Amino acid sequence: MADWSGLSRAAARRLCERVLGLSKAEGCQVNVTAGTTGNKRYARNEVTTAGDTDNASVSVTSRFGKRVASVGTNLLDDAGLARAVETSARLAKLAPENPELMPMLPAQVYGDVPAFSDATANLDAARRADAVRAATSASGRAGLVAAGLVHRVAGAGAVANSAGLFGYHASTTAVHTLTVRTPDGKGSGWAGTAHNDWTRATGSSLLASRAVRKADGTRNAAALDPGKYTVVLEPTAAGNLLSLLAFSMNARAADEGRSFFSKRGGGNRVGEKIVDERVTLVSDPRDPDLLTSPFTGEGLSVGRTVWIENGVLKNLAYDRFWADKQGVKPTPFAGGFRLESAGAAATLEQLIKGVERGLLVTRFWYIRPVDQRTLLFTGITRDGVFLIEHGELSHAVNNFRFNESPVAMLNNLVAVGRPERVSSSESGDVGGPAVVVPPLVVRDFSFTSVSEAV
C-alpha cells in the first residue's frame, strides 16, 4: 500500500502515539486527516478561480464509561494537541451517557487498498490548465460557452486507539465535470468523469466533445408531454438514482419498520427477491474502480459485501451497536458500490439502437425524498433529454420532473449495459461516493410534469 509523502504511515503512527500518550481518559481514539487539494474552475470559456490547499487535522475522542466527547484541531504542535486532549476529556465527563456506545475496537487486520495514484497527486496547476484548455477550446470553436471544474485531492487518513488499534490509508481522487451551453442559455450539455487514477479517467477532449455535441443538439428543444416513457439512462443518471438505493440499505431502519427493506409484521427483507434478477450490487474497497477506505471512522475493517445478488437482497448495513443487539456480525458500507450484471457489455449507443421509442436522459438534479418506505424520490432532468425513435436519436425535448423509485426502476429493466466509474454527485465535486454503474434501459419511467430547467 503506497504512502502519501505528506503523511506517511510512520509519521501518522507517531502522531497518533503522541496524542494517545497525552490522554488520561479511560479510553481514547485519534483520527488523523491530512491532504492537499488543487482546483481550477472555469466559466464563459476562461478560468475564473484556481488554487491549492494543504491541511491536516486531528480529532480526539475521550471516553469515561458510557460518556464520550470529541474535539478537533489543526494545531498539531504539543500545546495544540494537549489542549484538544484536555478539552475532549473535560467535555466527555460532562456529556450524558450514551447507551449505544460500544467498546473500543482492538487491533484489526486491514488488506491493502492501492488507492493512491502518483498521476493524480501530480495533477498540478499546469496539467489542470491543459484539461481546462481542452474543454474551453472545443466549446469556443463550436460557438458555445463552457463552465466546469477540475479538482484533485491527495492525502491520507489514520485511526488509532488506546486498545492497540492502528489503521492507515492513503488515497487520491480527481474529477472533471463540465457544462456547455448555447449563447442564449436555452441549450445545455454535460459530461463528467471521476477516478482515483487520473490516467483512467475519461480524457478532457472526449468529455468536451460529448458536452459540446449535447449542447449543440439541445438548440430549439421540442415540447413533449409528461407521462411514462421507456428511458435510456446514461451511467451518470443511473448513478444518481442507484446511490439513493445503495445508501438506504440500513439494517436498523429496516428492523424498526422505517424503510423499504422492512418486512411486513417485523424484521427485514434479507433473502427476498426485490429487483430484477439481472441486478447484483457489490461494494469492495479493493475493486480497482472503487478503491475506498479499508476501515470505518472507528477502525472497523471493511471487506467485500454483496448487497443484492441476482435480484435477491443478501445483506443490509449493520453498525456495531445494532449488530450486537441483533446477534449478527457488523457489516459496514464501504463508501462506494458497483452494479453489475453477468454478461452485460452493451455500449450506450447499442442500447439506444434497441429502443423503438423512448427518451435518452443525461443526468438528474435536485433529487429529494418523497417516501422513504417506498424509496420514492423526485427530481428533474437537465443538460440534455433526447427523443429516441426507431433506435436513433431524433431531437432534443424539454426537461421533466420525475417521481420514481430506484427499486421500481430496477424491476422495470429492459437492458443493462457495460458499467463504468461515474461522477454521480449532484455537485460534480470529489465529495461523492465511488460509483460504478452501467447505462440502463427502463420501461414506464414516470415523468410527472414539464420542467423549465436547462
Q: What are the pLDDT digits (tens) for 122-174?
A: 999 999 999 999 999 999 999 999 999 999 999 999 999 999 999 999 999 99
The pLDDT assigned to 450 comes to 98
Dump strand ranges (E) for 44-74: 46-64, 67-73
The DSSP call for residue 346 is B
Reported as a pLDDT band with limits 50, 70 and 90, residue 1 is: low
**Average pLDDT of the chain?**
96
The DSSP call for residue 23 is -
Beta-carbon contacts of 112 under 8 Å, excluding residues fewer than 6 positions away, are: 1, 286, 294
Angle at 356 between CA 355 and CA 358, to 5 degrees: 70
The pLDDT tens digits for 329-379 are 999 987 899 999 988 999 999 999 999 999 999 999 999 999 999 999 999
Angle at 385 between CA 178 and CA 441, to 5 degrees: 105
Beta-carbon contacts of 332 under 8 Å, excluding residues fewer than 6 positions away, are: 296, 300, 302, 317, 318, 319
Question: Phi and psi dihedrals of 324, rounded to 5?
Answer: -65, -40
The pLDDT assigned to 246 comes to 95
The pLDDT assigned to 344 comes to 92
Q: Of the candidates 311, 156, 142, 333, which has an alpha carbon nearest to the alpha carbon of residue 243?
A: 333
Question: Phi and psi dihedrals of 244, rounded to 5?
Answer: -65, -35
The mean pLDDT of 245-261, rounded to a whole number, is 96
The pLDDT assigned to 343 comes to 87
Strand partners, 167: 159
Helix, strand, coil share (%) of the chain residues, nearest 5: 25, 40, 35
Rounded to whole angstroms, the Cα distance separating 268 from 327 reads: 14
The pLDDT tens digits for 386-399 are 999 999 999 999 99
Beta-carbon contacts of 237 under 8 Å, excluding residues fewer than 6 positions away, are: 361, 362, 363, 364, 381
Alpha helices in 29-107 (DSSP H): 78-94
The pLDDT tens digits for 265-296 are 999 999 999 999 999 999 999 999 999 999 99
The pLDDT tens digits for 86-132 are 999 999 999 999 999 999 999 999 988 999 999 999 999 999 999 99
Q: For residue 185, what are the CA distances in angstroms to 209, 214, 225, 454?
A: 18, 13, 22, 8
The pLDDT assigned to 334 comes to 77
The pLDDT assigned to 52 comes to 96
Pairing of strands 166-181, 420-422: unpaired
Question: Phi and psi dihedrals of 151, rounded to 5?
Answer: -140, 130
The pLDDT assigned to 426 comes to 79
The pLDDT assigned to 424 comes to 82
Rounded to whole angstroms, the Cα distance separating 326 from 435 reads: 30
**Among the listed ranges 22-36, 134-148, 323-337, 423-437, which one has the minimum average pLDDT value?**
423-437
Question: Phi and psi dihedrals of 86, rounded to 5?
Answer: -65, -40
Altogether, the residues listed in the chain come to a count of: 454
Q: Of the candidates 219, 206, 211, which has an alpha carbon nearest to the alpha carbon of residue 190?
A: 211
Angle at 194 between CA 193 and CA 200, to 5 degrees: 90
Rounded to whole angstroms, the Cα distance separating 330 from 18 reads: 30
For residues 201 and 174, the answer to whether their CB atoms sit within 8 Å is: yes
The pLDDT tens digits for 296-315 are 999 999 999 999 999 999 99
> Which residue do the cell numbers 492513503 mark?
170
Q: For residue 250, what are the CA distances in angstroms to 262, 268, 276, 310, 377?
A: 10, 10, 21, 20, 17
